[in-house]
Amino acid sequence: MTQGPTRPARFPVALDRVHGHERPACTDLLRPQGPLQHAAQDAARRSTPSGLGLDSAAVRERMVRRLRAEGVHCEPVLQAFARVERHRFVDSALANQAYEDTSLPIGSSQTISKPSVVARMLSLLMESALARERGHLGRVLEIGTGCGYQAALLCWLARTVISIERLKVLHDKARENLADRQGGQGDLRLVYGDGCLGHAPRAPYDHIIAAAGGDQVPPAWLDQLAVGGRLVAPLHDAARGGQVLLVVDRQPEGLIRQWHDAVHFVPLKSGSA
């Protein structure tokens, strides 16, 4: 993150102004301006002491209360949402919307999914046979790192997280966003490449989660899913005329599929760019 040489004093002054206020002052601080201001604002947000504006735990707690009211009851998932600072994963001009239940652009025509959809998918993973037995997700493969927000949540729920992104620019951005893993204890490995192939070197995975949807589940994902494990992915369903969440459990006797909610994810594309 670069900062214009003539502007270093600007943000401490602005931050003093937001003391004691939550959203409105921060919204003001994060108002879109020129690129230099953006870079400096990003730097300022990253170093803002906790307890101020968007850094306040209260802002995330409000989101958690809303998720709970909407039917998310998985406590470890809610705790992860309470911990990970979503506003640090989006452009500073959008940070004031970070705790709304909305998808947001993350660049390269991609989006970070709505918190309610992410919570739903993570809750489905936490309901797998393996997760119920162990209380955590074990080794997880995520397809579509994007800005890294979901990977940060996964680091609170899993022991090991392997996350693949096909766009180099987003892979690099996620690496920067996830430098501290937002406090999550899981071991995190970010991979640049085509997630349609899974990631054979670290297979099998107890859980696989995809943040992009295709017309079929790539065979590599099923091959790399451990017995007792679960895959959650958006999938285009011609009969329903849109994407739905597919859950696949690998049981000793075979694969069990269940269809869940209608969703709207960016397309799963092959190759890397």
Return the number of the residue (15 or 209) whose C-beta is nearest ligand SAH.
209
Q: Which is nearer to ligand SAH, 111 or 128 (CB)?
A: 111
Q: Which residues are catalytic?
A: 113
Cis preceding-peptide flag for 204 (omega within 30 of 0):
yes
Contact with ligand SAH (CB under 6 A) among 195, 198, 229, 234: 195
CA 44, distance to chain mean position in Å, is: 22
Near ligand SAH by CB under 6 A: residue from 165, 207, 229, 263: 165
Least separation in angstroms between residue 254's CB and ligand SAH is: 26
Q: Is 147 in the site for ligand SAH (CB under 6 A)?
A: yes
Closer Cβ to ligand SAH, 18 or 230, answer by number: 230
Q: What letter would DSSP give residue 211?
A: S
Q: H or E stretch including 242?
A: strand 242-251
How many chain residues interact with ligand SAH (CB under 6 A)?
A: 25
Task: Tell me: does residue 112 bind ligand SAH (CB under 6 A).
Answer: yes
Q: Which of 67, 106, 154, 155 binds ligand SAH (CB under 6 A)?
A: 106
Q: Is residue 71 within a helix (H) or strand (E), and if so which, with residue range?
A: none
Q: Where are the beta strands (DSSP E) in 83-224?
A: 104-107, 110-112, 139-143, 160-165, 187-192, 205-210
* The token pair that represents 31 in the structure block: 């108002």
- Residue 167 in the binding site for ligand SAH (CB under 6 A): yes
Place of tokens 């190759």: 271
Sorted by sequence, the CB contacts under 8 Å of residue 204 that are 6+ apart come out as: 139, 224, 225, 226, 229
Say whether residue 231 binds ligand SAH (CB under 6 A): no
| Measured CA distances, 109 to 13, 112, 265 (Å) | 34, 10, 12
Please identify which residue in 164, 217, 231, 245 interacts with ligand SAH, judged by CB under 6 A: 164
Q: 3-class DSSP state for residue 188?
A: strand
Shortest distance in whole angstroms from residue 4 CB to ligand SAH: 28
Q: Which residues bind ligand SAH (CB under 6 A)?
A: 106, 110-113, 143-144, 146-147, 149-150, 164-167, 170, 194-196, 211-212, 266, 268-270
